[in-house]
Structure 1
C-alpha cells in the first residue's frame, strides 16, 4: 500500500461575478491545486486570488490548461493541429507562471483539463504534443497524468518528471479512461462512497473500474473536481478515510516512470 499520497483539486474556475466551487475551503483540505488559466474558465482576478490563497496555505500550484470553450467549460472536443495545441498549452502555462510568481509561489505541475485531457488520454501523439510544449517553457515542471492511459505512456516516453493521478469523483472504464459524463453514474456525488472507493484503490495500488476490472497503477495523487457541488465534502471524506487507513497526505515529488 502507498504510504503517502497527494490530494489535488481543480479550481480557479470562477469568472467575474459568476462563482464556481468553494475554493478557499477546499484549499484547507488538499495538498495541490490545479488552477484554471482563463481559457476554459477563470480570469486574471480569479487566478491571482487562487494563487495567493494556495501560497498562503502551502498548497502546491499547477497550471490547468484547457480548450478555449467558456460556454462548454472546456468539456467539448476541439480538434486542433498539434502546433496550435502546443501554442495553446504554452500560452496558458505562461499565464500561470506569471500569476504564481506574482503571488510569491511557483508552478510545480501541469494537468490538462476536460476534453483536452480525455482526448490526450486516448491519443499518445496529442498527449506528447501538449507535454513537450509545456516542457519547452518549464523544463522542470511535473507532468500530472491520468494513470494507465496514453497520457502516462507519452510522459514515460519523454522521460520527464511525472505524477500519476486517479479520480475520487469519477467512474472508470476498463481501459483506465473515465466514463463519459453523459452516462449515468459517471460522476460520484456521495462523499462517503468516494472516500471508501479511493482508499481501497490506494490500498490495492490499482484503479477499480465499473465492470469489476482491476488495473494496477502507480498512484501519486488523487483528484476531485472543484465544480462538483459536493467537492468540499468529498475532499474531507477522502482525506479522513485515507488518514484513518494510515496514509499520509503530502505534495507529490514527481519522478520519471
Structure 2
C-alpha cells in the first residue's frame, strides 16, 4: 500500500462511516479497484482507520463524553449495554465475518436489500416519541444493540442498522442518528483493538505500515468531521430515501459487474 492508496481509502472511510451506505462495503470495493485487496495489511488498515473516523464524534459531541454528571453516567451505561451484543457476536463469528468480507457479491446484495429498506423507513417509523437521548432507557439501548449486529454482514452498514433500530424503538430520526454516532465509539474502538491484537505483526515487522495507519486515521478523522455535519443536514431535509436510491444503484452495479465476468476478488 502506498501513501496515495492509504489516503484514498481513508477518504472513502471518512465519507461513508456515518452515512447509511456501508463504509466497509465501500472500502472493500475501493481496495479492489486499487488492486491491493489481497494484501493482509489492507484488511487491517480498513478496520483500524475507522478509529480515526469515530474520534470525529468525540470531538463534535465532546460534551456528551466529557461533561461528567449523573446523566453522563447513564449515557455511558446505555452505550455499554448497546455495544455488548455486537461484541459477543463479533467474537463468536469472527472467522465467518472475515470470510464474508472477502465476497463483493455479499456487499452488492446487502447494499441492494438495505437500500430497498431505506426507501420505506420514514413511512414505517413516523410516530416517534423519544426526542432526546436522555429518554432512551436501557432496554431500548439493548434492542438497538441487537440491530447493530446486522452490520457484521459487510455492506449492511452499522449506521443504517442502528439508526433503523433506533427509529423502530420510537426515536426521532435525529436522535437515532446521534445515538448511532455515539454507539460507534465503543464499537469501533473494540473492533480496532481486536484487529490490532490479531495483526500486530504486520506493524512490528513492517514499521512503514505504522506511518500509513497514522496517515489513514488523520485523513479519516478530518473527512468524517465534514461528513457527520452533512449527513445530519440531509437527514433533517430529505430523510433516508436518497440514501436508499444510492445503495440500490451501487448494489446493482456491483452485481452486474460480477455477472459480466469482472473479477472482484478480495
Q: TM-score, normalised by structure 1?
A: 0.24
Write 1 or 2 for the structure with the bigger share of strand.
1
Select the structure of larger CA radius of gyration.
2
Write 1 or 2 for the structure with the bigger share of helix.
2
Q: TM-score, normalised by structure 2?
A: 0.24
